Amino acid sequence: MIRVKALGATADRASMVARRLVPLFAVALGALALGSGAFADHGPPPVVTLVAPVNGATVKLTSLAKDSPRFSWQVGYPTPPVQAVLIVFEVSTDPTFTTSAAENRGCDTANLACFTSYKAVADWFRYADACIPTSRPPECATRKPGAPITFYWRVSVTWATDHPPATATGSFVGIPSPDRDGDGILDPRDNCPAVANKDQRNSDGTSLGDACERDRTPPRLRVAAATMTRGHWGRVYFHMGDTRSGILKVEAGLYYGSRRLTRLVHTVPTVRFETRYYYALLIHPSNPAGRYTVCIRVTDARRNARRRCAPVYVR
């Protein structure tokens, strides 16, 4: 005689760790050391000329690296400075540059034009947008989704401690890509642009995300070997999980050779993440010792199923 308990779950659930997005494109204004000999007897200031994007140009806002603009400018020195200079690049949706994305370089006298271009990172416009931070300007309240956004950019050259920086400012228009499903992922990057799926889960690695693709992926299942003693309750542990439809049914059975001795069919609350379960068995002393087999079959909501077996050594 073999007695069977219902399936049980242990507390061995995989943890999920939220990761904070760290901007790759951040303000980093460095100090400029001009030396103690700097004084007011300088030649004319440098001349900054913005080259690209030209004023009034339009750029795509897609979050794709291939669409990020390359900013370029020229710095002319009527009289070369006798000390290093600091060149600062900034871009913002705020004409006062209260919030901006920025980059800077220090250039020594051997190469005073060491910083004349910058290839923006893929999400440059998110870091430059004054409407994203908590302290938003009033005009952000009237911005319509998908409407063109004016960006301002400037390049400043600090060339003397006792003179103001030489600066040039320009502007261009950013055309946002649509976000039809409103999940915060722009359509060019969204693996399912018609269905909201902020997690962008893609279990099978195809071009479509799970939200736009029928679930044909079987659940995950691992069954561990076990050793039991006749006349005592024992457990066969197994792990199961399904990140898409969720597991709904578990079938378990104990076999001695080809003969099935037990059968348990159990409906479970939807299991999505890796979870440890056990199948409890009591093998009567009258049963023979030796090798038995436990087989587990799990089925998800889309009727995808997986079956795994493991040996059970009975003494």
Amino acid at 162: D
Indicate whether 15 pLDDT > 60.
Answer: no
Taking the C-alpha atoms of residue 201 and residue 213, their distance in angstroms, rounded to an integer, is: 11
* Residue 73 CB partners (closer than 8 Å, separation 6+): 48, 49, 50, 51, 89, 116, 117, 155, 168
* Residue 134 CB partners (closer than 8 Å, separation 6+): none
Taking the C-alpha atoms of residue 304 and residue 69, their distance in angstroms, rounded to an integer, is: 46
**Tens-digit pLDDT profile for residues 286-315:** 999 999 999 999 998 888 999 999 999 999
Indicate whether 221 pLDDT > 90.
Answer: yes
List the structure tokens of 209: 């995300």
Q: Which pLDDT score, from 0 to 100, does residue 20 have?
A: 31
Indicate whether 9 pLDDT > 90.
Answer: no
Taking the C-alpha atoms of residue 225 and residue 223, their distance in angstroms, rounded to an integer, is: 7
pTM over 0.85: no
State the average pLDDT over residues 166-173: 97
Q: Which pLDDT score, from 0 to 100, does residue 8 have?
A: 56
**Tens-digit pLDDT profile for residues 39-57:** 445 789 999 999 999 999 9
Say if strands 85-92 and 226-228 run parallel, antiparallel, or are unpaired: unpaired
pLDDT tier for residue 29 given thresholds of 50, 70 and 90: very low
Indicate whether 13 pLDDT > 60.
Answer: no
Indicate whether 18 pLDDT > 60.
Answer: no
Q: Which pLDDT score, from 0 to 100, does residue 2 have?
A: 54
Q: Is the dihedral of CA 221, 227, 230, 234 positive or negative?
A: negative
Residue predicted with more confidence, 13 or 229: 229
List the structure tokens of 290: 């030796």
In this structure, of 202-206, 210-214, 300-304, the range with the lowest mean pLDDT score is 202-206
Q: Which of 147, 217, 146 is nearest to 187 (CA)?
A: 146
pLDDT tier for residue 246 given thresholds of 50, 70 and 90: confident
The rounded mean pLDDT for the chain is 84
pLDDT tier for residue 24 given thresholds of 50, 70 and 90: very low
Taking the C-alpha atoms of residue 307 and residue 309, their distance in angstroms, rounded to an integer, is: 7
21 contacts 63 by C-beta, under 8 angstroms: no
Q: Which pLDDT score, from 0 to 100, does residue 287 have?
A: 93
Dihedral (C-alpha) 268, 271, 274, 279: value to the nearest 10 degrees? 10
Say if strands 290-300 and 247-256 run parallel, antiparallel, or are unpaired: antiparallel
Indicate whether 136 pLDDT > 60.
Answer: yes
